[in-house]
Structure 1
């Protein structure tokens, strides 16, 4: 067998082994974070402080994006439904699209790009400047003091941000469909209320946001804690957080949706 092919196969094998090892290390780190969360939950002020940086500072991009997504849904939905004489059902289209899919997924993607990258950069910078090492020297566990509060803040923030995204998105669809185009307001709201089911739409949407919140925040804190203590290392970790989180969100969305719709059938 030619030497180049052998080297190529060997390189692929090394990458696969490294990926499996890294996945195992990340899983161990995640379990360690859960086990050491007692300090953060007892001193909940640590989590509240991170809630501000993780959740409150993400409100602007969530609200503005949700408004425009809802407006686009209202416009496109009206143009499509009008061809079939069902323009009064635009409220149903907007609400179901946001509650089932776009609300959880787009909000999670925005959360990963804004809050997830910030968490990774902050923890990575603390590692690069040896703040984490200094904590260990003072007998302070950096996972309990730094990682766990940020993890729980992200998990708590994500469902609320997704709910706000969907709510403001419905309002954006209302502005375009009812206020601008002139769809009957009563039909808009009544058909929406009849179509949206609390169990299969709202609860499933909440489950998605919770899963996305855990996945994104777990990836963010791990990448920050595992980053190389250099500027290039922190930059690479931040990029990996956004890319890995985005892929995880889309993959988990498919898996969760397949199970949820199977339960509806």
Structure 2
């Protein structure tokens, strides 16, 4: 069953990446999906990443209770952990739950109401028209959201550490600036691009091949989120192992 679904997924992607009939129509859909995925998820990413950064600062300060370790290390650890792992992966999992379920439900509803069949009868490449704009928008907007999430997490760490007294603002800022490796940002962007592809393509596949009625559409959305989250975590390990 695993190989059957993987093969169907690959075959669907072949149809998705066929040359579009009219780029003008596709561009309109791409900008619409960029607004839905990016702007629509911005507030959620801001809130979650800010509090994650604040909590991480408190937990790091709780663990580093030693006079031999300078408090500037708290800023360094919070910065690197958010850039490499928490920013991309937590944002990816959250977006899979929000964006992925919406994509699966939208395409699944079109399938059970025979709208996709109508598109195919009219000679339109339904996979390309419905899924390609979502994938392109996801690959563009998810990295943008991840960069915002990293910035908010580091800022949240500064606010959380200052309010709790766990670390002085000057020490935290000094820790952020010390020993910064720009390659960590490259790793985060690569993860975000892969996650953006998974967040849009996996739910689209589950929704495109759903059969039945409203109950099956809901079940497909649940399966899409579960499978997508597992795929994100697997890719997280693979990318980390290859690039670090």
Listed as ranges, the gaps of 5+ residues in structure 2 are: none
**Structure 1 pair 194/142, CA: closer, same or farther in 2 (3 Å)?**
same
Partner of 2:154: 170
Structure 2 length-normalised TM:
0.93
Partner of 2:189: 206
- Contact map agreement 1:40 1:46 (CA 8 A) in 2: no
Q: 1:124 aligns with which of 90, 93, 108?
A: 108
- Contact map agreement 1:103 1:165 (CA 8 A) in 2: yes
Listed as ranges, the gaps of 5+ residues in structure 1 are: 1-17
Partner of 1:15: none
**Structure 1 pair 41/224, CA: closer, same or farther in 2 (3 Å)?**
farther
Q: CA deviation at 1:144?
A: 2.3
- 2-structure distance, mates of 1:247, 1:139: 35
Q: Which has the higher helix share?
A: 1
Alignment size in residue pairs: 243
Q: CA RMSD in A?
A: 1.8
Q: 1:257 aligns with which of 237, 240, 243?
A: 240
Q: 1:194 aligns with which of 169, 174, 178?
A: 178
- Contact map agreement 1:125 1:229 (CA 8 A) in 2: no
Q: CA deviation at 1:236?
A: 1.5
Is 2:79 the partner of 1:95? yes
Q: 1:66 aligns with which of 40, 44, 49?
A: 49
Q: CA deviation at 1:152?
A: 1.3
- 2-structure distance, mates of 1:230, 1:42: 29
Please give the residue correspondences for 1:10-89 in structure 2 after superposition, counting only pairs within 5 Å: 18-36=1-19, 39=22, 43-83=26-66, 84-89=68-73
Q: CA deviation at 1:241?
A: 0.9
Task: Choose 207-216 or 173-182, whichever is displaced more.
Answer: 173-182
- Contact map agreement 1:90 1:177 (CA 8 A) in 2: no
Q: CA deviation at 1:216?
A: 2.1
- Contact map agreement 2:99 2:199 (CA 8 A) in 1: no
Task: Choose 216-225 or 118-127, whichever is displaced more.
Answer: 216-225
